[in-house]
Chain A
Amino acid sequence: MIEFEQVSYGYSGGPLLADVSLRLARGSFHFLTGPSGAGKTTLLKLCYGELIAQQGRVAIFDRDARTLSRDDVAMMRRRIGVVHQDQQFLDHLSLAENVALPLTVSGRSTTEADLGDLIRWVGLESQRESRPPELSGGERQRAALARAIIMSPDVILADEPTGNVDWEMSLRLLKLMVELNKMGKAIMVATHDLNLIRAAKSQVQARVLRISNHRVQLAGADL
């Protein structure tokens, strides 16, 4: 669904990612690790067309990311659920409205019951009318995950989705992602949390990609 061929990317400060090739196939589960500042978030941004590769080719749903028009990018984002590291919400809307935002902007609607189920699943039913600034970091993260999956996307990209939640909640979020993966969705989770990766390995066939020295390598079983 998403394919990198010898992709390089760097901000003004020099190359960050070099010669990266990878493939997120339907039903695959990837972890992405690496030291802070290695380029995990950058790689995810390349996956959803926020950044465009400087060299090489990124294909998103079999289309070269470079050739996508602005509307194409918008359409493509409805098929890719993203949990951002700095979960961005519309602060003037309630949590429930924020979770439903992808539906709203694509002119679709959902039933109150479905939205309620989703919000309950991430454990936020008592906060559904709260504004995002009133939520804790973990609550925002769970809301971001709910928003990422409400469109039932083909691909889910999660950037540190368990960064601010306790271990129990981490496992719960992981379980949700594993479930989504079993439904055939391609998942990529960027995380520092090796315990989370270990926990996942018992539940799902996950591949671990590590960024080091600007390259992306498949990590062995040495976790």
Chain B
Amino acid sequence: MSPLLAFLAGDAQADRVVPPTGFTARLTLFASAAMAFLTVFALALSLATGRLAENWGSALAQSSTIRISAPEGQMEAQVLAVMDVLETTPGIADARVLTDDEQRALLEPWFGPDLPLDTLPVPRLIEVKETPDGYDAEGLRARLAGEAPGAVLDDHTRWREPLVRAAERLRLLGLVSILLIAATTAVMITLAAAAALAANAQVIRVLRLVGARDAYIARAFVRRYTLRAHSGASVGTALGMMAVWLLPEADPGGSFLTGLGFQGTAWLWPLLIPQLAALVAFAATHHAALTTLKERS
């Protein structure tokens, strides 16, 4: 049997040597449940904002368009000029004039299928793909204004850039929150364990008198608090997941708020919370018990 399994399986006799501590037990259960509940939301926030940042980020990497409106005779010249400019602009991976068919497809929803493109003064569209580093939009605009006055750069996805940064920051904050919650849990469990140790000073004295080692005494407390934190956190996690699951769903395209959920395998992440809580409780109680026992020899 591995030490961990042996630890979890425990020793019924050893557990009985420390009397049940009703009050701190309930406190620990409640605190762990509450903290796990909060962690579920912090996690949901992190995952959702991470997803958002990724989606928006990949949208950014997609194309921008340049629209050229020019009198009939100048159109070809301006298109060529724009293509020249694009060729010499750093950060542009590819540029391509949309074909008539493609433009017709774009306009079809508004004007129907029989649009006589050649007779209408429809602007030409150039699709621009940028390199991962991107290009300098202001610089490009200035050059276009000089070379092809009818060209308008429409980098419609750029407005999202600050949003992506905000989403990334939110994800970071979510992760920091999880760390803070874990630290707070550790503090609370340390306090609860310290209170239990103090309340059981007499028990500990008797145990030491009959030859119990510190590790033995500590284990009786540590096991208790680890299991409690685990069960509390399991309940809290279950409730938190249920609450996330019950969040009203508006549109699947996912605005920020409705995206605040778990998707697919991400539902597995919160299942780690009880394990993490148990780990935190184990470390906290272990430390608290051994220090207290050493101080009080």
Which chain A residues have a beta carbon within 8 Å of chain B's beta carbons? 50, 70-71, 73-78, 82, 84, 88-93, 97, 101-102, 104-106, 147, 151
Contacts and interface: CB of A to CB of B under 8 A. Distances in A.
B214 A90 contact: no
A77 B216 CA distance: 14
Interface size bucket, B side?
A: 20 to 34
A88 B215 CA distance: 21
B203 A105 contact: no
A84 B297 CA distance: 18
B14 interface: yes
Contact of A101 (B17, B202, B214, B215): B17
A21 to B, nearest CB: 26
B17 A105 contact: yes
B5 interface: no
Interface of B: 13-14, 16-17, 19-20, 202-203, 205-216, 293-294, 297
Given A93-B16, A104-B17, A105-B17, A74 B213 contact: yes
Given A70-B214, A70-B294, A71-B214, A88 B209 contact: yes
Nearest to A109: B13
A105 B297 contact: no
A90 B211 contact: no
A77 B208 CA distance: 8
Nearest to A75: B211
Nearest to B220: A105
Nearest to B293: A70
Contacts of B17: 90, 93, 101, 104-105
A13 B205 CA distance: 24
B16 A105 contact: no
Nearest to B217: A105
A74 B19 contact: no
B206 A74 contact: no
A105 B210 contact: yes
Contacts of B207: 90, 101, 105
B289 to A, nearest CB: 13
10 contacts: A50-B209, A70-B214, A70-B294, A75-B211, A90-B19, A90-B207, A93-B17, A104-B13, A104-B17, A105-B14
